Amino acid sequence: MGKKIVVAGAGHGGLIAAAKLAQAGYDVTVYERKIKSELGYDWEDAINLHIFAECGLETPDPEKIEFNGDMKYYNPNLKAPLVVYANGKGSAMFERKALYAILLDNAEKSGVKIIYSTEILGHVMDGLRVVGIRTSDAVVNAHREIDSPGLNTPLRSRLPVCCNVDRDYGYGECFYAYRAYFDKVPGHDPDVSYEIFLMHQGERGISWVVTKDSYVDVLIGRMAPMNKQKLAKTLDEMRAFSPQIGETLLRGGTQEQIPVRRPLSVMVCDGYAAVGDAAYMTEPMSGSGICASMRAGLILAETVIEDTEEQYSKETLWPYNRKYMLHFGKNFASIDILKNVLLCTEVEGVNFLFDKGIITENDMSFGGKGDSAMAFSDLVARAARGIGNLPVLLRTAGALSKGDNVKKVYEGIPETYDEKAVLKWKAEIMENTTLMQR
């Protein structure tokens, strides 16, 4: 039996890493605070079906899956919507609970032990090395710990500062999303079924209304938590514009958090690696993080297996950090720039960017594409057309020119973990990504 690996939380990336490591002979245990039947949200998510084959899982029959169609993006004044055509390349809509059933079955069949109803409270440290976890029931020693309990992991936030793993996130980096399926009022089908409202009702955030044959999927996402009264008022206002949204709640109806920021720059330290939402692996505009987490889980397992001397140190785990940044993190970080531009721009400014055609269909099409690359130089050229609103233009152009550099900075990630070089790289990221004071 190989060395002992503890996975904190049955997150998507953690379960993939756990299964791969167990298949390779490691002794892997996942500690999850919920009971099995509670895992996964009660709704469908947009994912790329290729992820199953990439993770060595059987691809579900595409004939039995619904795919997203075209998407219509509204600016706050609702006057200059942009339609992004799916052209047959929409994402698959997959039941989250069905995905969990596949991930758990795969992990169990691979030999992973999953302990449910067990809350992880923190680490056990030996100097700067993580050597185990504290759960609600016990202290568990481990040679390696995978931090996969989502955004508010108690582990990342409790690492010593000198491990260089950022412990917290700030305003504008986390989204509070209410999601619910309502009955459908007949006779009000919009021309495009997937409608997204940017800076909806003049607030920082987005909402969507997805009109299906028999129900309407509603999301209200804001940068601050919403109370019941606020949600009820927002829903009423949404019904005025989208009368197909009925009053009967069919599914969901909870408010959850989603990280919407560039990935954690340093995700590893001695005996520790973060994956999934715990490492902010979502695409910052759409909040999609399932596939990125699962891919990261694969890279992490490969890296651990390649550590044949079983050191599990920041140096031997660094290839995971580096590969994630080069393959995915750099694109997500560049999308974060556009998100921050919109976040820092007043309602009139966002209207201006849409009305003048500075933001186009192409800029909004990252959601359905695997490659999220954006041509910032092209955006800057377009921004030059919008001279009518100089402050917004200058802020946008300034931010977008920063975006030009972001990918290059990420590509400059040190090849090996040298503390001085890593800190310099982190500082460069801060310099090129910080648009607003917090």
Give me the residues that bind ligand FAD (CB under 6 A), please. Answer: 9-13, 31-34, 39, 45-47, 119-120, 148-150, 154, 177, 179, 256, 258, 276-278, 282, 287-291, 293
Residues 7, 144: contact at Cβ < 8 Å? no
Residues 19, 42: contact at Cβ < 8 Å? no
Helix axes 390-411, 376-383, angle to 10 degrees: 170
Q: How far is the CB of 323 from ligand FAD (least distance, A)?
A: 18
> How many Cα atoms occupy the beta-carbon half-sphere of 103 within 13 Å?
27
Is 401 buried (19+), middle (13-18) or exposed (0-12) by CB count in 10 A?
middle
User: How far apart are the C-alpha atoms of 423 and 264, rounded to whole Å?
Assistant: 13
Non-local (6+) Cβ contacts of 420 within 8 A are: none
Q: With respect to ligand FAD, which residue has the nearer C-beta, 254 or 362?
A: 254
Q: How far is the CB of 121 from ligand FAD (least distance, A)?
A: 7
Q: What are the tokens at 298?
A: 């694969």
Which amino acid would we find at residue 241?
F
Q: With respect to ligand FAD, which residue has the nearer C-beta, 6 or 338?
A: 6
Three-point CA angle 31, 32, 33, nearest 5°: 125
Q: With respect to ligand FAD, which residue has the nearer C-beta, 181 or 410?
A: 181
Q: With respect to ligand FAD, which residue has the nearer C-beta, 17 or 353?
A: 17
- Of 193, 215, 219, 216, the closest CA to residue 205 belongs to 219
Q: How far is the CB of 351 from ligand FAD (least distance, A)?
A: 26
Q: How far is the CB of 329 from ligand FAD (least distance, A)?
A: 14
Q: With respect to ligand FAD, which residue has the nearer C-beta, 250 or 344?
A: 250
User: How far apart are the C-alpha atoms of 52 and 56, rounded to whole Å?
Assistant: 6
The residue to which tokens 């209410």 are assigned: 178
Residues in the chain: 438
Q: With respect to ligand FAD, which residue has the nearer C-beta, 68 or 334?
A: 68
Q: With respect to ligand FAD, which residue has the nearer C-beta, 66 or 431?
A: 66
Task: Provide φ and ψ at 113, rounded to 5°.
Answer: -95, 130
Q: How far is the CB of 385 from ligand FAD (least distance, A)?
A: 33
Q: What is the DSSP letter of 162?
A: G
Q: With respect to ligand FAD, which residue has the nearer C-beta, 6 or 383?
A: 6
Q: How far is the CB of 393 from ligand FAD (least distance, A)?
A: 33
Q: How far is the CB of 29 from ligand FAD (least distance, A)?
A: 12
For residue 426, how many other CB atoms are within 10 A of its CB?
A: 15
Q: How far is the CB of 232 from ligand FAD (least distance, A)?
A: 18
